[in-house]
Structure 1
């Protein structure tokens, strides 16, 4: 069908458009985590809730305020707060995400490790686990060193769409989104991901972004929940949740749009002063009534949810 993409827009331009729109954001709520395993620690950059063995579960990044070393824990809700799920595995990873591919649960996160070329520096990569459920998750793939935000989505023809995010002088700059298709999870390779073409015209070279979650729409299009980010003149970071729609048939895509801003959420702490204006898209639960609930990490220190207009609803009526 072809999706119309116009000129690249900066964070500032997207923010002006959002602020001048009639976007309705409501019911911001802090998500409360409890239990000995999270005492004195922050839980943020969560997934949206998903069902595992008949129970609603959230995966979250758990770490001390002064550290980047984190664990992914799984939580279930009891009496209005979320507690670590008894007997669930933990993973020494950051920024969890999940999807389902051909009936299997696929969980991923970011692994940090010492940079072999720079003493006292860290490197990172995206790692993936698969299984029938959380209890049976087993590792099966590690993405390229230095790449976060690899996301998978099962497509209508049975193949798998892979959104990538290279960084570096040779490709991607501070971080741009790419796309490649593979036939199955077993065909995921570092080379295929590194060779994925970029989606041209999404980010300026001074800014960056990535995909956080991909939703297969009823007409075969893919709704992408992501983020776009920039530095200001003081070096502070600004992260905005955004969304766009991608057509895997011809690899066209719509303009990205901001879907929320930090000020719409409840006030709260930040991990560092330069991270106050950070909203990290964790997951989106589409309600089927034109609204969706966005689950997000806030200021790298806590997790909140907010109800927004479903950014994919109007595209779902298009015929692919």
Structure 2
């Protein structure tokens, strides 16, 4: 099958399409306790594990980027740290289930040898296990690569989304490859993943944040597309597209949520005010879906929207 050429649209064009089709939404801010005065943001979607509903969240002081990832459970509309559960010195958690096993990832920051407060690099770390309390580290991404995501494909193989930067990826592209099992997940797998062509214009960037196996065997990708403005502020938008894992044919990207969908609130820094970070999506089965996001690197929200993956099935 030949790959169809897709016109690459920039953030401005994607936003014009997004705003041209108003949709009905329902927004809820997540309330957290048990973490002191720290912010909780960049959450995963809720998932059922060990008989309870759980989310993972990035927990951090407002003036720091040294964070922890907590497992949270909910009672009376308030999310609190799961009792007697290990926390991880990571940023931006993600999760998936592969062959019944819980896979958790996050970004570890690397500091300068002579200055522990200076972040010089970062590495995505992965843990696996059949219970939350018995997760074991099993793989590390290459230096400076965030937004690595895994998904069990139809037939049992594992799809791997990567985000190369620099010489291969500029400010950040999306790569994809398939491995037979988690035992093949290593640095070479991440480095040699094929970059998806014409995904972002050269001055913009993005990444995959969660992958969904669709009814037709294709993969729905929840991610972000981002750009700088003329004064250096960042703008992050939630987006989706789908990909045929066998051919790497993909649909055009579309924005599904922006910062303006949510109430005004605090931000980590002025340059991060117009930032939302896709955390996860729950498809409700009735044409609707609930998107979990981090907002302005300071808060966590959920927003009910039309199911963005329906058209791909």
TM-superposed CA distance for 1:133, in Å, is 1.7
- Shift, 1:25, TM fit: 4.1
* Alpha carbons of structure 1 residues 21 and 215: separation in structure 2 relative to 1, 3 Å: same
Aligned to 1:261: 258
Q: What is the CA–CA distance in structure 2 between the aligned matches of 1:52 and 1:266, rounded to whole Å?
A: 31
Equivalent residue, structure 2, for 1:29: 28
Residue aligned with 1:161, SS: strand
Equivalent residue for 2:174? Answer: 177
Task: Name the TM-score, length of structure 1 as normaliser.
Answer: 0.94
Q: Report the RMSD for the aligned CA atoms in angstroms.
A: 1.6
Aligned partners of 1:180, 1:192: CA distance in 2, in Å? 8
- The yes-or-no answer on 1:131 pairing with 2:134 is no
* Match among 270, 279, 282 for residue 282 of structure 1: 279
Is contact 2:109–2:119 with CA below 8 Å preserved after alignment? Answer: no
Residues 3, 247 of structure 1: 8 Å contact kept: no
Please give the per-residue CA displacement for 1:53-94, whole angstroms capped at 9, x wherever unaligned.
Answer: 110001100000000000000111111110111011100000
Query: Are the counterparts in 2 of residues 3 and 246 from structure 1 also a CA contact under 8 Å?
Result: no
- Which of 143, 153, 163 aligns to 2:151? It is 153
SS at match of 1:67: coil
TM-score normalised by length of structure 2 = 0.97
Instruction: Give the Cα separation in 2 of the matches to 1:118 and 1:53.
Output: 41
| 1:88-108 deviations in Å (ceiling 9; x for gaps) | 110000000000111100000
The equivalences for 1:55-134 within 5 A come to: 55-114=52-111, 120-134=118-132
> How far apart, CA to CA, are the structure 1 residues paired with 2:114 and 2:8?
35
Residues 241, 254 of structure 2: 8 Å contact kept: yes
Are the aligned partners of 2:107 and 2:124 in contact in 1 as well (CA < 8 Å)?
Answer: yes
Question: How many residues get paired?
Answer: 312
Q: What whole-Å deviation, never above 9, does each CA across 1:202-257 have from its counterpart, x for those lacking one? A: 11111100000000112101000000000000100000000000101211000010
**Which runs of 5 or more structure 1 residues have no equivalent in the other structure?**
none
- Tell me which protein shows more strand as a share of its residues: 2
User: How many angstroms does 1:122 deviate by?
Assistant: 2.1
Given candidates 164, 167, 170, the residue that maps to 2:165 is: 167
Q: Give the match for residue 208 of structure 1.
A: 205
Judging changes above 3 Å, is the alpha-carbon distance between structure 1 residues 32 and 206 closer, same or farther for their aligned structure 2 residues? same
- Asked if 1:230 corresponds to 2:224, the answer is no
Q: Does the 8 Å CA contact 1:25/1:306 hold for their aligned counterparts?
A: no
1:238-253 matches, cutoff 5 A: 238-253=235-250
Distance 1:212 1:2, change over 3 A: farther
CA distance 1:118–1:250, change in 2 (3 Å): farther
Matched, 1:53 2:50: yes
Q: Helix, strand or coil for the counterpart of 2:53?
A: strand
